[in-house]
Structure 1
Amino acid sequence: MITLTRKQLRTARSLLRRTLGLRSRNDQTPVEIAATAQGTSVRAASQKFALEYRLPGNPEMETIVLPYATLVECEGTRQDPVRVHTAKDQVVLQWEEKGFPQCIWTDVKSASNFPARPEEMQENPSSLLTILAEAVAITSKESSRFALDCCRLRGSDGQLAATDGRQALVQAGFDFPWEEGLLIPACPGFTAKEFLNEKPVRMGKTEDWVAIQSGPCTIWSRIDQQRRFPEIDRITPKESEASTTLTLTDHDASFLHSALSRLPGKEEYNAPITLDLSETPIIRAKSANHPTTELLLCQSTCIGEKLRCCTNRLYLARAIELGFLSFRLKDANSPILCHKNSKTYFWAPLDQSGVLPPEENSLQIESAPPKLAATNAA
C-alpha cells in the first residue's frame, strides 16, 4: 500500500497537467506511483515531455500505475491521507471526505516508457528557471522548418536562446554539462509555480532527453535532432551601432507598462504604437473609434538622434516585464535592443507606414507633473 495526502496528489496532478498538456479531466494517460527506499515518486510521460515529482518515503515498496483521471477525483487541499493499493487487477484508492469514507476502483494501467535519469546532473543558478519560464512566452506554438517552438541550450558558452521569429531572448553564463547546442521544446511545465519556487537547480542529458531538476520536480524535454535553429548570434543588434537610446526611470516604466494595455488600438493587428523619441519621449496610439492619445514620459530621457518608429506594444511591455529600462535603436527599421548584464532581448519593429505624427488636438497624459519630475531629478 502507498499512502499520499490529497494535497500532494493535487500538486502532482497540477504539474502533470501543465507539463504534459493534459486538457481533459478524463484523460487516461498512465501515471506511475512508485514507493522505494529513496522516497515516493509520481511520474508520467508523453512523446515530448516527462515529469517526476518526488515525495518523502513510504513504509512499503510498491509500484502502481493508474489513469490520470483518477487523481482528479481524489485530490484536495487538505492533508487527509489517500491509501492506494491493488486488488484483483484493480487499483483501489480510499480516503475520507468530511468524515465520509470514499473509495474508487479503476483498472491497472501499463506504464509508459519513461526516460532515464542522466548520470551527470550539473548544478545551475536559480535564474535558469526564470529564463526557462520566460522562454515559454517567447517561443512559437507553431513550428516550421526552424525550431521556433524550442529553446537552444549551448554548452560552449552556457547560452540559452529562444525566438518566435519576431522577438528573441538570449542569456548566457549557465553551466550546461555538454558542449554542443541542443534544441528542446519549451515545456509549459517550466512556468509552474511548484517548479519555479524550488532549489537547487540541476540539469543533465541522455542521448535523447534533457532533464532539469528543481527541488522534488524533474522535467525531461526530448531533444529535437532534426530541425535547425535561427542564427541568433548573427542577427543580434550591436550596442555600438545604436544611434538613439531611450532610458526609462522606474516610475515611468511602471506607468508605461500599466498604460500600454489601455491605449487605443490594442485590438488591432499587431497592437501598434508609435515611439516618438526626442527630448521628451512620447508613446502615441490611436484607433478608428478613439482620438490620438500620447503618453509623455516626463522623467525619462533620450540620447542621440531624434527618431520615430512603429512597434507592437506587447513586445515593449514584455521588455519592461523582463526588467529592461534602456532601449537602443539603430534606425526606425532595425530591431529594438535591450541588454543588461548577461541577458539580451530584441524585437523587430513594424512597418513604418504605421508611424503616427503629432496632432494638435491629441489627448496627452503625463507620467508625472513637470514640477514633480524636476524635483525627482534634483
Structure 2
Amino acid sequence: MCPCGFLLPIHKGETLPSSLTVRRCDLQRFLKVIRGAGLLSRKGIPAWVSLDASSGVLRLRAANTQVEVQLQLEAADSAFEAIVDAEFLKICSGKEASSVTLSLADDEVTASWFDADVPRAARFVLRSSDSVPPAVAAPEILATNEPHLLEALREAQATTDPGASRFALACVQLRSAEGRIAATDSRQLLVQRGYQFPWAGDRLMQITPVFGAQEIDRSQDVQIGEAGNWIAVQAGPWRIAHAVEVEGRFPNVDLVIPSPSSLVSSMSVETGDARFVLERLDKLPCSDTLHEPVTVELNGSVAIRSRQEESAAAVELVLSRTQRNGNECRLQMDRRYLGRALKLGLREVGFTAGGGPCVARDAQRDYVWMGLGQENTISAADVGDRLLSEESVGG
C-alpha cells in the first residue's frame, strides 16, 4: 500500500479507537533533527520512524548504524507501538500545535488531522521491528556538562573529513584525561578542553551534523555517557547516540599544535577589529579559488591584503586596534581558516617561521591551520585601496 496517504472521511470531534495523539509541531521538530543527522534517506534505504508510547511517555526514534535520535514527549496513559516509513513525518508534521491522531489496524497506521479547517488523513504500512536496528541502551553512567558541549560537538563535526580513508578523520576524539574533544580534516585542527567524560582513555566517535539543529534543547545541562559501542548525549527531551569507531586510527594531533616557544610573531585581535575583518574578508578579491589566499603582515601595523590577479592593485584591511607581539612577519594563508578562527571568538593568533602552521587559541581551545608560506606575498607598495578599521562604521 502506498504510504503517501489519501483522504478519508473524518468529522470533527471523532476519535478513532486504540489511538495515539501527537502534536504536528513536535513531529516537525523531530523531522528537522533527524534530517540534520542524515537519517531521512541513505544509499537507497528507506528511512523510518518508530513511535512507542507507554506510561504517559511517547518516544520517537530513528536510527541507522551510525546514529540514533530519540525524542521523549508526554502522551496519554495508553500503549501504542508502530514503525512506519519516515514519509509519515513529511506528510503529517506542521508548524501548528494541532494534533495528529494515529490508529492501529491490522498492518497499517491511519493518521488523521485537520489542516486549518480541512480534514486530512493518510495510511501508512507498518514495518516489522526486525527491519530496523535495535534501540541503543541508556548509558549506566553519565557525566554532566554545561550546554556549551553541544556547540563544541557541532564545531568539532565541522572540522572532520567524512571522505578520509587513511585515518578516522570522520570521527572526533573524546579524551577523558583532559576532557578533550579533537577533530581534524588534515587541513585544520580544532582541540577543545574542559569537558567531563565518564570513561577512561580515548574514544573515537562517529559524528553527524545533528548537533547544529536549533531544535535541540540548549537551556539546561547536557549529559554524556557510553553504552556498548555507542556514545549518547542527553539534552532535555533529546537523546542522540553515535557509534564508536573501534578499528580506526586517529592522528597524534599534539605533534602539530605549535608551542608558544615556536611562535615568531603573534597578534592580539581587538574585538571591533575582528568584526571589521569578518564583515569584509570574503568580499576581498581573490585570484585562487582553491586556496583563497590573503597576505597577513605584522609590521608597524597589522594588515590583511589580497588582489584579483598579480598585476592588479591590492585591497588592504588595516586592523588599527590590533596589537602585534614579537617579530615583524609577512605570510600567506587561506582566508577561510583565518575567518573561522575569528568566528570561534579566538583573538590570540600566532605564526611560526617560514609561514608554516598558524594557531589561534584561548585557555580552552587551540585552532591550527597551515599557512601558505612567504612566497608571492603582497607588499604595502602593491596596495591600491586601504580600509582602516578605526574609520569604519560599526567597526
Match of 1:308 in 2: 330
CA offset digits 1:193-217 (Å, max 9, x no partner): 1226242201111221100111111
In structure 1, the partner of 2:344 is: 322
Q: Are positions 1:13 and 2:31 aligned together?
A: yes
Query: Of the candidates 311, 314, 320, which is equivalent to residue 292 of structure 1?
Result: 314
1:147 corresponds to which residue?
Answer: 168
Aligned residues: 371
2:216 is paired with a residue of what secondary structure?
A: helix
Structure 1 266/178 Cα, relative in aligned 2: closer, same or farther at 3 Å?
Answer: farther
1:2 corresponding residue in structure 2: 20
Displacement after TM superposition at 1:132 (Å): 0.4
The residue that corresponds to 1:58 in the other structure is 76
Matched, 1:236 2:257: yes
1:127 aligns with 2:148: yes
Q: Give the structure 1 partner of residue 178 of structure 2.
A: 157
Letter in 1 for 2:74: P
Distance 1:19 1:120 in 2: 24
Deviation at 1:333, TM superposition (A): 2.9
Deviations, residues 292-336 of structure 1 (Å, cap 9, x unaligned)? 111111111112111011100000110011111111112233311
Distance 1:48 1:361, change over 3 A: closer
SS at match of 1:261: helix
Give, in whole Å, the separation in 1 of the partners of 2:41 and 2:339.
Answer: 29
Match of 1:73 among 72, 79, 91: 91
Three-state SS of the structure 1 residue aligned to 2:37 is helix
1:180 matched residue in structure 2: 201
2:108 maps to 1:86: no
Residue 251 of structure 1 is matched in structure 2 by 272
Cα distance 1:21–1:273, how it changes in 2: closer, same or farther (>3 A)? farther
Distance 1:312 1:250 in 2: 21
Separation in 2 of the partners of 1:330 and 1:351?
Answer: 10
- Aligned residue for 2:158, secondary structure, equals helix
Does the 8 Å CA contact 1:121/1:203 hold for their aligned counterparts?
Answer: yes
The answer to which of 58-67 and 247-256 deviates more is 58-67
The separation in 2 between residues aligned to 1:173 and 1:207, in whole angstroms, is 24
Displacement of 1:190 after TM fit?
1.0
Aligned amino acid, residue 157 of structure 1: E
Once the two structures are superposed, residues 197-239 of structure 1 have per-residue CA deviations (whole angstroms, 9 ceiling, x without a partner) of: 2422011112211001111111111001111111011221112
**Aligned match of 1:362:** 384
Q: Given residue 28 of structure 1, which amino acid in structure 2 is its aligned partner?
A: P
Which digits, 9 at most, give the CA deviation of each residue in 1:337-375, with x for residues without a partner? Answer: 1221211111111143342223355211111139x9xxx
Deviation at 1:38, TM superposition (A): 5.4
Instruction: Please give the residue correspondences for 1:30-41 in structure 2 after superposition, counting only pairs within 5 Å.
Output: 30-37=48-55, 39-41=57-59
The AA in structure 2 aligned to 1:208 is N
Contact 1:212–1:218, Cα closer than 8 Å, also in 2 = yes
TM-superposition CA deviations, 1:255-274 (whole Å, max 9, x none): 00111010000762111001
Task: Output the CA distance in 1 between the equivalents of 2:288 and 2:99.
Answer: 49
Deviation beyond 4 Å, 4+ runs, structure 1: none
Q: Could you report, residue by residue, the CA deviation over 1:136-162 in whole angstroms, capped at 9, with x for unpaired residues?
A: 211113122111111000112211111
Shift of 1:21: 4.2
The whole-number CA distance in structure 2 between the counterparts of 1:19 and 1:344 is: 26
* Length-normalised TM-score, structure 2: 0.89
After the TM superposition, which residues 105-120 of structure 1 pair with which residues of structure 2 at under 5 Å, given as runs? 105-111=123-129, 112-113=132-133, 114-120=135-141
Equivalent-residue separation in structure 2 for 1:105 and 1:180 (angstroms): 49
Please tell me whether residue 275 in structure 1 is matched to residue 304 in structure 2. Answer: no
Q: Specify every segment of 5 or more residues in structure 2 that has no aligned partner in the other structure, as ranges.
A: 1-18
Pick closer, same or farther for the CA change 1:136–1:273 going to 2, 3 Å.
same
TM-score by length of 1: 0.93
Which structure 1 residue ranges, 5 or more long, are not aligned?
none
- In the aligned structure 2, how far is the partner of 1:319 from the partner of 1:196? 26
Aligned to 2:238: 217
Q: Is the 8 A contact 2:347 2:361 kept in 1?
A: no
Q: Is the 8 A contact 1:28 1:69 kept in 2?
A: no
Structure 2 vs 1, CA of residues 118 and 148 (structure 1 numbering), >3 Å: closer, same or farther? Answer: same
Question: What is the SS of the residue equivalent to 1:193?
Answer: coil
Aligned counterpart, 2:6: none
Identity rate, percent: 27
Distance 1:27 1:13 in 2: 17
Q: In the alignment, which residue of structure 1 is the partner of 2:66?
A: 48
Is the CA contact 1:30–1:110 (under 8 Å) kept in the aligned structure 2? no
One-letter code aligned to 2:232: A
Q: What is aligned with 2:16?
A: none
